[in-house]
Amino acid sequence: MSGIVLEGVTKRFGDHLVTDAIDLVIPDGAFTVFVGPSGCGKTTLLRLIAGLEDIDSGRLLIDGVDAAQTSPAARGLAMVFQSYALYPHMTVRANLGFALKVARRPRAEIAERTEQVAEMLNLTPFLDRRPGALSGGQRQRVAIGRALVREPKAFLFDEPLSNLDAELRAQMRIEIRRLQQQLGITAIYVTHDQAEAMTMADRIVVFRDGRVEQAGSPGEIYRNPASRFVAGFIGSPRMNFLGGAIAAKHGAVTIGVRPEHLAIDPAGTISAAVQAIEYLGSDSFVHLGAQSGETLIARGVPDLDFRSGDTVQLRIAPGAVHRFDADDRAMPAPAPAPGANIFEETV
Amino acid sequence: MTAGVAIRQRSYLQGPGRLLLAPAILLLLAASIAPLLVTIKFSLSDYRLLFPDSSGFVGLSNYARLVASPDFVPALVNTLMLIAVVLAASIAGGLGLALLLDGPVIGRGGLRLLVISPFFVMPPVSALLWKNLLMQPVSGFFAWLAALFGLPAYDWFSHAPLLSIALIVAWQWLPFAALILLTSLQSFDRELREAAQLDGASAAAILRHLLLPHLARPIAIVVMIETIFLIGVFAEILVTTGGGTASTDLAFLVYSQAMLQYDIGAASAAGLVAVVFANILAIFLIRAVGRSLEA
Amino acid sequence: MRTRRRHRAIATMFAWAASLTIAFPLLWTLLTSFKTELEAVSFPPRFLSFDWTLANYRGILAEGDYLHSLVNSVIVAGGSSALVLALAIPAAWSMAFAPTHRTRGILLWMLSTKMLPPVGVFIPIFLFYRDWGLLDSRTGLVLLLAAANLPIAVWMLFSNFREVPGEILEASRMDGASLWQELVSVLAPLALPGIASTFFLVFTLAWNESFWTLNLVTTEATPLTAFIAAFSSPQGLFWARLSAASILSIVPVLLIGWLCQRQLVRGLTFGAVK
Ligand SMILES: Nc1ncnc2c1ncn2[C@@H]1O[C@H](COP(=O)(O)OP(=O)(O)OP(=O)(O)O)[C@@H](O)[C@H]1O
Ligand SMILES: [Mg+2]
């Protein structure tokens, strides 16, 4: 079986359990994104896969072979570090060619591969500079190029874009994705930015406190979050949560509604006070305070003929309610009771 | 010290880690611990180079002989005196120099070069230069200075051999103290000092209440490090007085017992006394340095 | 404004006076080295008004003893420093990048061997060297001085390596670099300034070492310390010659010392004074 398979992978730092019996299959050739809040163990898991840390218990299979005894280099994986970790004393050319050089490849081949990768990443003009004389984005591309040169079995990216500005980040997301698709190489990409996860991933794995909270395609995770945590973490602005009577009417402890499913409509049955309005051009978000105390966000209001302080009525789009139980786990979608319209409620 | 080192044991690093550490450990074991054990053994044996057969276990009799010998107590006292005089002189002088150089002076770089120079002079050179060119009672420079003030020339090495040696050694170590203290003074917060000046504190009060407390730690480190080196003062004695009860320290005693009297047993016992002596001081050094690195 | 300027002038004057006093023995030696023997012992001493001569330097260089010792000093100090680096760089790598729960203990133990006065191990080493033909050999000195300076070097390099970002070394491991390549092509260039100052410190210490170099050699392997010590009698009467020989013996490390004073002193205090 090819790809990367984790079976009960556990890692402790002292008595702190950083990854807790993680079972995961990283599909071959796909772009898998690990996402989760800071400190949940994403980097650690990536380093475990890379072989830079030891697994305490559990198994890691790479292309069906137990990798426990394999050195980082022999695993055939390439890593792009958050700090880039370029060799500061070498030129871009030498940085790119280092892996081939230590593998004792012929000089002509090294030169050719290096040029080729530099071409791919628009680094040709900078080949003879040192990393210190490059911009952040250029350094980032060198770091990616260094991984590309080796034609690895898989790329491991640890928050590679977190040091770039927003515009460059958006551009690099596309570029990384394009390269990965073009080469068809498996990629694991760590981020704590859910937007990055949504835009790039074939498959998202959401982590929380060293455990896998949910794994699936971006659409699946967005539409059917497995828990209140995932529901709140994925999607921006975050999902609205309502408890109390309205949730009880749905047979749940909490219900969640995404901002785009909350419409301001005089015919709606939830009254809320407008607190602030964000106009983003193509979009707008209305921040609201429900009478029951929750803050809500509604998206894409067509006619904004109200102002802060006004009281408006809200309507939940049919079929858009996510229900959560006392443990914050998602409950299966209810079969609508005949004749009852459960989506029109009063708070 | 380990505060910054997250101890992460990784299987693929453990083998190389041990492998790369081993040569250094082996060399140190071979050059320090192994000979130290042999010294201990010798110190308990009757072993004289002139009578090779006479080696056998004799308990503590070497130590008894050493303590009873007329050279031992003076050597111990001389060692202590030497350390005390050199420490006092180099730290007092070093502090003075550091304060001067920390002031609003022109050409601090040049001053630093002048002040640091003696530290890089090899001990036999400094001892011979001082003994001959400066301290020689007939035409040495100090004799001329004395004559200038109408004083009689002083025969340093006949009248005060230990003090003369201490002076030379202090001259070598003064730059070290001065540079350490200067470095520390320069890291002292200027604003704090200026605030104190605005509060009307006198220069003496600033020195007493602000600078000296700030310098306590560097002074402690200077004391420890100089002490380690001062326990082994040897070449300065060899090339000036060549020994004698008045100027022999423990290091020189070991040398003369072994190389001049061929009494390995007694020399080993003296060597171990020096080791114990050094270690009492070393415990403090390890504590101080260890703590400072953890901070 | 004016008082401040006066303050500055006075401070400068005192500082220069004190510093010149400290350096005076060396300056005086330098002057004496250009005098004739007669002028060197003249009383009252001559300061600048004498016949400057290079005869002393010429004499020493012509005699061969100096050059012989200089070569030995360079070999012994250079060789032992190179050996120290060859042992200390791997050891410090191990401590900085593959630490175990024993690392701290080992480091302190290494440092503690520095607290062992040479006389505590002198006799066994002397007898061993005698029996193994290492007395009066440069090899013997190289080994001993390496052992003497190894702890300081390990400590200096350890503190230095800890400032190197571990991720760069990890990147080289991912790139497939062997341990040797990691040390030579990645770590060494990154830590070059620290390695250089470590080298200069141990070189200086070895150059000036005056216990082993005076006790373990007689003729063949005599370095400059022993060459100078031989002036203690009766040659010491030749002041001008002694001065020139002294200047020639201390110039190399004096230059090194001037160039890297800060690092050298920091190294000696194990970084405890910044
Ligand atoms: N060497 C270490 N020793 C002890 N604890 C560690 C070590 N490295 C990481 N940890 C802890 O393990 C947990 C997971 O760290 P990790 O770096 O994997 O988080 P992360 O998910 O990558 O976070 P971020 O998004 O901030 O990068 C954290 O609580 C961290 O403090
Ligand atoms: Mg991380």
Which atom of ligand 1 approaches the CA of A210 most closely? 14
B4 pLDDT higher than 50: no
- B287 vs B241 pLDDT, higher one: B241
Residue of A10, A18, A52, A188 to test ligand 1 pocket, by largest number of atoms within 8 Å of CB:
A18
Evaluate whether C134 touches C224 at the Cβ level (below 8 Å): no
* Residue B229: pLDDT band with limits 50, 70, 90: confident
* Residue B96: pLDDT band with limits 50, 70, 90: very high
Query: What's at A328, amino acid-wise?
Result: D
Tell me the average pLDDT of chain B: 84
Residue nearest to atom 3 of ligand 1 (CA): A13
Domain-located, residue B252: no
Bridge partner residues of A17 (DSSP): A12
The protein residues having their C-beta less than 5 angstroms from ligand 2 (an ion) are A 43
CA distance A113 to chain C (A): 15
A72 pLDDT higher than 60: yes
pLDDT in tens, C123-140: 899 989 999 999 889 999
Confirm or reject: Cβ of A19 under 6 Å from ligand 1. Answer: no
Query: What's at B69, amino acid-wise?
Result: S
Residue nearest to atom 22 of ligand 1 (CA): A43
Residue nearest to atom 18 of ligand 1 (CA): A41
Domain-located, residue B237: yes
Total of domains in chain B: 1
Rounded to the nearest 5°, which phi and psi values hold at B225? -70, -40
Report pLDDT for B54: 62
* Residue C272: pLDDT band with limits 50, 70, 90: low
A16 in contact with B, Cβ within 8 Å? no
* Residue C264: pLDDT band with limits 50, 70, 90: confident
- Write out the two tokens for A230: 């995932």
What share of chain C in percent tops pLDDT 70? Answer: 96
User: Could you tell me the domains of chain C?
Assistant: 64-217+256-267 (1.10.3720.10)
Tell me the average pLDDT of chain C: 88
**Running DSSP on this structure, what letter comes out for residue B33?**
I
Domain-located, residue B111: yes
CA R_g for chain C: 23
CATH number of the CATH domain containing B169: 1.10.3720.10
B51 pLDDT higher than 80: no
Report pLDDT for C273: 66
Read off the pTM: 0.85
Q: Do the chains contact at A85 and C167, CB–CB below 8 Å?
A: yes
Domain-located, residue B14: no
- Write out the two tokens for C109: 């133990």
pLDDT in tens, A252-282: 889 999 998 988 888 888 888 888 888 877 7
Domain-located, residue B191: yes
Report pLDDT for C129: 92
**Span A70-78, mean pLDDT?**
88
For chain A, the chains sharing at least 3 beta-carbon pairs closer than 8 angstroms are B, C
**Span C147-176, mean pLDDT?**
91
Helices (H) and strands (E) in chain C, counts: 15, 0
Domain-located, residue B120: yes
Q: Which of A161-165, B21-25, C215-219 has the highest mean pLDDT?
A: B21-25
**Span A2-11, mean pLDDT?**
88
Q: Which of C177, C186, C169, C175 is nearest to A147 (CA)?
A: C175
d(CA A43, ligand 1 centre) in Å: 7
Side-chain-side CA neighbours of residue A24 (13 Å): 29
Report pLDDT for A346: 41
What are the chain A neighbours of C171 within 8 Å (beta carbons)?
Answer: 79, 81, 85-87, 146
Residue of A40, A53, A161, A189 to test ligand 1 pocket, by largest number of atoms within 8 Å of CB:
A40
pLDDT in tens, A176-224: 999 999 989 999 999 988 889 999 999 999 999 999 999 999 999 999 9
What share of chain C in percent tops pLDDT 90? Answer: 48
Sign of CA dihedral A161, A162, A163, A165: positive
Report pLDDT for A340: 45
Write the CB contacts of A188 (distance below 8 Å, at least 6 apart in sequence). Answer: A4, A26, A32, A33, A34, A46, A49, A154, A155, A156, A157
Domain-located, residue B55: no
**Span C221-240, mean pLDDT?**
83
Q: String of b and e for A92-120 (b: at least 16 CB within 10 Å)?
A: bbbbbbbbbbbeeeeeeebeebbbebbeb
Range of the domain at B199: 72-247
Q: Do the chains contact at B238 and C232, CB–CB below 8 Å?
A: yes
Cβ-Cβ pairs closer than 8 A, A with C, add up to 57
